[in-house]
Amino acid sequence: MSSKREEKALLEFKHILDDLMQLVSRSTNAKTAYLYWVNRSRQQFVLETTYTEFSNVMFKDRIGFEKFFLDRFKEINDILQLEVGKQVNREDLLHYYNRVPTNYLTVIPFANNNSTVALTILETEQPLDVKEFEKPISAYRNAHINVLNTYLELTDLYDDQKKWTDYDESTDRITTKLSDVEVLGVMTEEMQKLLPSGGVSVVLRGMETWVNVLRSSRTAESPSIGLMVDEKSMAYDALQKGEAIFSIHFNQNPKRISASEKSSDGATLAIPVLMADKRCAVVLAHDKNPLTFKESTKHQLKNLVKIASLTIQANHDSGDYNQNLLATEYGNFQPELIDHCIQNEIDRDPGDQQIWFGLVGIENLSEIRSRFRLEDLKKLQRLMVKALNPSRLGLNGLIGFHSDYVYSYLLMSRDKNQHDKWLQEIKLDLKDKLDLGDGRKVEVQIQYGSKKIERGAGDMKELWNEVKHSLSSAMRNENATISGL
C-alpha cells in the first residue's frame, strides 16, 4: 500500500475504534473505558483509545505485561467481570491518581486467528448486568472484529499488490547492460528485499572447490565469504540434484553450506543455477522466519535467479560455459568479483569477524621464468592458487586474479592474529617446492602487501593503492621487480 493510502486507512480505522468506544461506554453507563492491544512480540499492552468522565485519569501508552494487572487476563476468550478490592487491587489501577472511583471492571476480549489480540475494559460503580447489556456489548465486539478484519484484509491486499509491483521493478533492474558480476550483485540485493530477517548467498566454483563468494550486504549472520561447501549441505544437494531444495532448520540442521557455518536457523531455499545443462552456481535464500517462504515468495526468488542466469547467458554469445563461471583458467576469481566482495564487506556489519585484503607476488619470478616453458608457467600459476587457498588450512577466504603471477586475496577470521599465521604457513609450504611433474620442483618465494578492512573503510581505489604500494615496497626491499601493479 502506498504510504498516503496506508496512513489514510489507519487513521480511519482509529477513528472508528474511537467512535465504537464512545458508543459502548455510553450505552453501558461506564464511567471509564479503554482498549489495549496485546503485543506479544514486545511483551506489552499498547493503548488504542479511551473514554472517561473523571479528571484524575492518565493512561500509559505502553506498559509491560508483568507491570499491568491485565497480564492475568490476556489469554481469556469470554467476557469477565472483576470486583475492585477482591479480584483486582485498587492500587493496580495505575491510570488513576489521588483516588480510584470505580468498583467493577468488565473485560471484553477480542480474538484474531485463535489468539486474543485486544482487551476492552469497562469500569462501573455497580456490577454490569452482562445479560441486560448483551446487545450493545455483542454489537461492539462484532463491529470491532469486523472493522479489524476488514482493515487487515485491505492492508494485506494492498501489500500483495505492492509486492508484485516491487517484484516487477526488481526484474527490470537485471539487464544485459550489466556485467556478470553486476548481474549476480543486483540479483542478491533484489532477493534480499523479499527476506526481511534473512539474506542471500551465492556459491560458485573456483580454487578447485565450491565456495561461498557473494552475499547480500544487509545481514551480518549470512554464511561467511570463502566458506567451502560440505557434502552434507543444502548447497551440495542442490548442485547434485540440479533442482531447488527448501528446508526448515531444526537444531541447526541441515547446514546451508558447511558444518563450520556460524548458525543455521529459520528456513532456506537453495536454488541451483544451470547454464547449458551445466551447474554453474547455487543461490541460497534464507530467513529466520520460515513463514516468509510463501509459495508466491519462493516463485519470485526462483524467477530472479532464473532471470539472472538467462541474462548472463545472453551476455555470452558463444554459449560456451564451464563450472568456473567467474574464475580464470588458473582457478582464481576474476578481479571484478573480488572488488565486489571487498566493497560489500566495507559496506556491511562485519560482526565479530576480522577481514584482510591483500596482494601476493612471486619474489623470484625472473629466475623461474628463465627456467621453465610457458605451459609449465601456467601450471605453476594453477599450483599457486591451490597453495594459497585458505580453505586448505581450514580458513575462510578467496584467491583472486590481479595479473599474471600476482594474486589478490580476502581472508576472514575471528582470530586477529590469523592473517600473519596464514602467511607464515604459506611461505613455509612454498619452500617445500611445488611439483610441476616429472620430478621437476620449484621453490617459490613470495612477498605481500595487505590491509585490514574496516566498515566504512573508504574508497575502493584508495584501498587498492595502499595494498599495491605495500607490495611494491616489499618487493623493492628484496630487490625484486614485478609487473602488473
Residue reference for cell 573456483: 206
Domain coverage including residue 115: 3-157
| C-alpha count within 13 angstroms, C-beta hemisphere, residue 395 | 29
Look at 478 and 355; give whichever has higher pLDDT.
355
pLDDT-derived band at 484 (thresholds 50, 70, 90) equals very low
Are both 301 and 435 inside the same structural domain?
no
Instruction: Please give the grid coordinates belonging to residue 421.
Output: 599465521
Residue 42 lies in a domain: yes
Instruction: Please give the grid coordinates belonging to residue 418.
Output: 590469523
Residue 234 contacts residue 247 (beta carbons within 8 Å): yes
pLDDT confidence of residue 483: 43
Residue 387 lies in a domain: yes
Kindly report the CATH number assigned to the domain that includes residue 264: 3.30.450.40
Mean pLDDT, rounded, for 296-325: 85
Are both 374 and 471 inside the same structural domain?
yes
Q: Read off the pLDDT of residues 370-429 as tens digits, 9 standing for 90 and up.
A: 888 899 899 999 999 999 999 888 889 999 999 889 999 999 888 888 898 999 998 888
> What's the structural domain count of the chain?
3
Residue 175 lies in a domain: no
Average per-residue pLDDT for the chain? 86
Cross-strand bridge partners of residue 396: 412
Q: Read off the pLDDT of residues 68-107 as tens digits, 9 standing for 90 and up.
A: 999 999 999 889 999 999 999 999 998 998 889 999 999 9
Residue 453 contacts residue 356 (beta carbons within 8 Å): yes
Q: What percent of the chain has pLDDT over 90?
A: 43
Coil, helix or strand for 415? Answer: coil
pLDDT-derived band at 437 (thresholds 50, 70, 90) equals confident
pLDDT of 219 above 70 = no
pLDDT of 311 above 90 = yes
Mean pLDDT, rounded, for 463-477: 79
Residue 238 lies in a domain: yes
**Residue 92: which residues within 8 A CB-CB, separation 6 or more?**
69
pTM of the model: 0.67
Closest CA to 330 of 405, 442, 429: 405
Mean pLDDT, rounded, for 218-232: 83
pLDDT-derived band at 300 (thresholds 50, 70, 90) equals very high
